[in-house]
Amino acid sequence: MPNLAVALDLGGTQIRGALVDEAGAILARQVRRTPAREGADAVVAALAQVSRDAAAAAGTRPVVGIGLSAPGPLDAEKGIALATPTIAGFTDFPLARNLEAAAGLPVALENDGIAAAIGEWRFGAGRGKSHMVYVTVSTGIGGGAVVDGHVLRGRKGMATHIGHMTVMHGGELCVCGNHGCFEAYASGTAFLARARRLSMHRPDSALSGLNEALTGPEVFAAARDGDELACELVAEEATMLGLGFANLLHLYSPELIVVGGGMSSEFNALEAGILRAMRGAALAPFRDVPVVTAALGDNSGLSGAGAIAYQAFGTNGTRR
C-alpha cells in the first residue's frame, strides 16, 4: 500500500494540514487558526493535533513523517525557528524536535518560501523546469529558487529571503528594521499602506475616506472602474514587483518566475506593468523570461511540505 506524508503549512494566522501522496495529491485537508500569541508550546500543540488528525485519516496506510513549512528565518538544517516575527516564542526555538515529541513522527522543517517553491516545481507551474523562481507576495514577500535542477537552500537553509533584498537604498522602513527592502515596496502590506496614505490626499478618488477600512481587493476593483488613484497604485505595485523580479533574473537566471500569494489573485491587473518594469531593468538576454501565477494556489506549500517529507524520510521512515 503506498505511503502517505503529513504536510503542515504553518502561517502567522492559519495552520493548514493534509495528507500528501508521492504524486502531490492532497487528502484530508484541514485548516485551523494559529495560536500565534499564545506562545511556542501552544503552536506546537496545535500542529501536533492537526498532524494526529491527518495521520488518523491515513487509516492503515503507513505515514513516513511530517513535512513542515514554516515562516523564517529559520535554521532548516537544525529544525530551529530563529526569529519568526509573527509567532510569539519562535526565537531560537527547536521547532522540529518539539513537534517530533508531541506528534510522535519525525519532522523535516523547511522555510515556507522554499516549501512552496518545491510544491510548484514538483507538481505545479514549474514542473519539468531546471531553473525557476517562486515568489509569494502577500503580507510579506518570500520565495524559493530552483537552479540547475537543485532547490537552493544555502547555509542553515536560509537562501532566497528575497523579500529582504534592498531595492531602494535608504528607502521605506521595513518590518525587519532595514530600509528599502523589496518587501517594504511590493508586499500586500506595503501596497495597502501606500493606498491608505495617498487616499487621504485625493478627495476625488473612490478610495478617499476609507482609511484603515480600505482593502486590497477594493483598490483593484476601483482600478477596474477607472479610478485614477487606484490605477496609479496598481501601476506602482506592478513596477516594484517587476523591478524585484528583474533582480531575481540577474541573480538566479530562471526559465520562468512563478508568482503566488494573495497578490497573485490580481495578476491580470498587474501583468503588463510587471513585464514592462522587469524588461526595462533587465539585461537583454533575460528579457524573454515569462512570469506566470502559481498553479496550486493555496496548496503550493502543502504539496511542497509533502515532497520534503518523502525526501527526508524516504518511503520507509528513514531519516535523511
Q: Could you tell me how many residues of this chain bind a copy of itself (CB under 8 A)?
A: 48
From 43-51, 156-164, 227-235, 290-298, give the range in contact with a copy of itself by CB under 8 A.
156-164
Based on the shown chain and the rule CB under 8 A, indicate whether residue 240 belongs to the binding site for a copy of itself: yes
Among 131, 202, 276, 287, binds a copy of itself (CB under 8 A): 131
**Straight-line distance from the first to the last Cα atom of the chain, in angstroms, rounded to the nearest whole number:** 22
Q: Please state whether 161 falls in left (phi above 0), alpha (psi between -120 and 50) or beta.
A: beta
Residues 144/116, Cβ–Cβ less than 8 Å: yes
- Using CB under 8 A as the binding rule, whether residue 197 contacts a copy of itself is answered as no
Q: Give the residues across from 16 on adjacent strands.
A: 9, 31
Edge-to-edge strand ranges of the sheet holding 63-70: 26-33, 14-20, 4-10, 63-70, 107-111
DSSP 174: P
Give the nearest distance from C-beta 289 to a copy of itself in angstroms: 8
Q: Which is nearer to a copy of itself, 97 or 287 (CB)?
A: 287
For residue 109, what are the β-bridge partners? 68
User: Is 128 among the residues that bind a copy of itself (CB under 8 A)?
Assistant: no
Residue 63 CA, distance from chain mean position = 26
Opening angle at CA 41, ends 304 and 189, nearest 5: 55
CA distance 228 to 207: 10
Instruction: Please report how close the Cβ of residue 214 comes to a copy of itself at its closest, in angstroms.
Output: 25
| CA angle (136 as vertex; 40, 247 as ends), nearest 5 | 120
Binding track over 275-314 against a copy of itself, x by CB under 8 A = -----xxxxxxx--x-------------------------
**How many of the other CB atoms lie within 10 Å of CB of 196?**
16
Which is closer to a copy of itself, CB of 39 or CB of 180? 180
Residue 77 beta carbon to a copy of itself: minimum distance, rounded to whole angstroms: 11
Our finding on whether 162 is near a copy of itself (CB under 8 A) is yes
For 94, list phi and psi in degrees, rounded to 5.
Answer: -75, 80
CB of 178 to a copy of itself, least distance (A): 5
Binding a copy of itself (rule: CB under 8 A), the pick from 45, 158, 198, 292 is 158
Please list every residue from 41 through 100 that binds a copy of itself, using CB under 8 A: 73, 75, 82-83
- Stretch binding a copy of itself (CB under 8 A), from 62-70, 225-233, 250-258, 297-305: 250-258
Q: Figure out which of the listed residues 49, 253, 265, 311 binds a copy of itself, where binding follows CB under 8 A.
A: 253
Calpha distance 312→317 (Å, rounded): 9
Q: Which amino acid is at 18?
A: A
Q: Does 165 engage in binding with a copy of itself (CB under 8 A)?
A: yes
- 242/161 Cα distance (integer angstroms): 17
Contact residues toward a copy of itself (CB under 8 A) are 73, 75, 82-83, 130-131, 147-148, 150, 152-162, 164-169, 171, 176, 178, 185, 240, 243, 246-247, 250-255, 280-286, 289
